[in-house]
Amino acid sequence: MKFNIGDRVRFLSSPGGGVVSKILSPSMVNVAIDDGFDIPTPVNDLVRIGEPGGAAARFFTDERKPKPQAAPEKEKAAPAPEPAPVADAVAADDSDRIMPLASGYRKAANPPGFYLAFVPQDQRWLITGQVDVFLVNFTDHDILFSLFIKTLKGTWRGVDYGSVPPLAMIHLESVPRDRMSLWGDGVVQLMVHPDKPRDLYNPVSVEYKVPSVKLLHEDSFRDYHFVEGRSFVYELARLESLVPVGVKGEPAEKYQAPSEPEPVKARQAEAVSYITRHRTAHREALVDLHIEAMVEDHKELDPSEMLRLQLSYFEKCLESAIADNYYKVTFIHGIGAGVLRNAIREKLKDYPQVYFQPAPIQQYGTGAMDVMITHQKEL
């Protein structure tokens, strides 16, 4: 079921409900409940009550409908509008399925480029249910794309095309798990369209092949900073690998395009461990949880969204440290009113293999804690 901002909804798995306040992805929305908090909720855990897009929608959008005006008594026929550029028409059609990259994309260790992401809608059961397929543009350029998948007869069928703005991704399809094999074998054609005067790039065709068995194992789905939720991500092409058109400073007639360009093969993108980028010594790390260290445009977030992001990143770093056999992680939570510190202490109760203690005051003041991790072989 598709929801709109302002829809009144009820939870299926728990009592209560609220109003849809933000569309996070085709499979996830924020629900504003009575106490003022926004709860990220899968759409398959919601049911709409009342008319869609009711009066509550005005609290979550700045759009206002213009008041109708009476037509003048005599009005000259307006000239026919010029046809919109193709790029503008595509962008208008795609606006409802394009979304910005996840807020942590600046921390991503993956190189700038173009990726295909398979994101399970149900993040609790990664190998069941539908899968959202996204084309990810992790560059500062606009791109045009065409997507083809191989049919059972071995021919190619065009299934999508359009444009994707910089640092954004487009939702291609929500695919039932039993049809994923049809989407696992395809070709993506890409054309980079830079805004500023730079070297142009030759278009590229990338063939990808996702073994269907990969999507049957939870270990195949990992955390990537530019995609919300655990996902299976294929690297289509790196920006640095694209071939420029011509050579800067030379006449165009001197340039000859290669007659048989080498084929480009896609590969699974590497998912760098969350804790690795915070490593300070052998099996030790330091993580700053101040919101300004995590999100650049943090001033647009309300306190509940800030706390949710901070706790989410805390959990990912801690679980990554446990998996990588770290024994100490220092978390800088700041002083303030102690809301984040107390929330972290509550979260730590869910991890029996850890204990915490104040970090050295002479080094961090009273705004940090050392989380110590014990491992079974050390007990």
The answer to whether residue 245 scores a pLDDT higher than 50 is yes
The answer to whether residue 135 scores a pLDDT higher than 90 is yes
The domain 276-378: what is its CATH number?
3.30.1370.110
pTM exceeding the 0.75 threshold for the entire prediction: no
Domain 8-59 top-level CATH class:
mainly beta
Could you give the residue range(s) of every CATH 2.60.40.1600 domain in the chain? 87-249+263-268
The answer to whether residue 92 scores a pLDDT higher than 90 is no
The answer to whether residue 187 scores a pLDDT higher than 70 is yes
Could you give the residue range(s) of every CATH 3.30.1370.110 domain in the chain? 276-378
What does the DSSP 8-state code read for residue 244?
B
Residue 196 binned pLDDT confidence (cut-offs 50, 70, 90): low
* % residues pLDDT > 90 (the chain): 25
The answer to whether residue 37 scores a pLDDT higher than 90 is no
What confidence score (pLDDT) does residue 260 get? 44
Average pLDDT, the chain: 77
Look at residues 271, 369, 270, 296 and name the one whose alpha carbon lies nearest to residue 328: 369
* 339-359 burial: b if 16+ Cβ within 10 Å, else e: ebbebbeeebeeeeebeeeeb
The answer to whether residue 263 scores a pLDDT higher than 60 is no
N-term to C-term CA, the chain = 50
Helix (H) or strand (E) holding 370: strand 368-373
Domain 87-249+263-268 fold is Immunoglobulin-like (2.60.40)
What pLDDT digit, counting tens, does each position of 327-336 carry? 999 999 988 8
Look at residues 242, 312, 238 and name the one whose alpha carbon lies nearest to residue 269: 238
Residue 272 binned pLDDT confidence (cut-offs 50, 70, 90): low
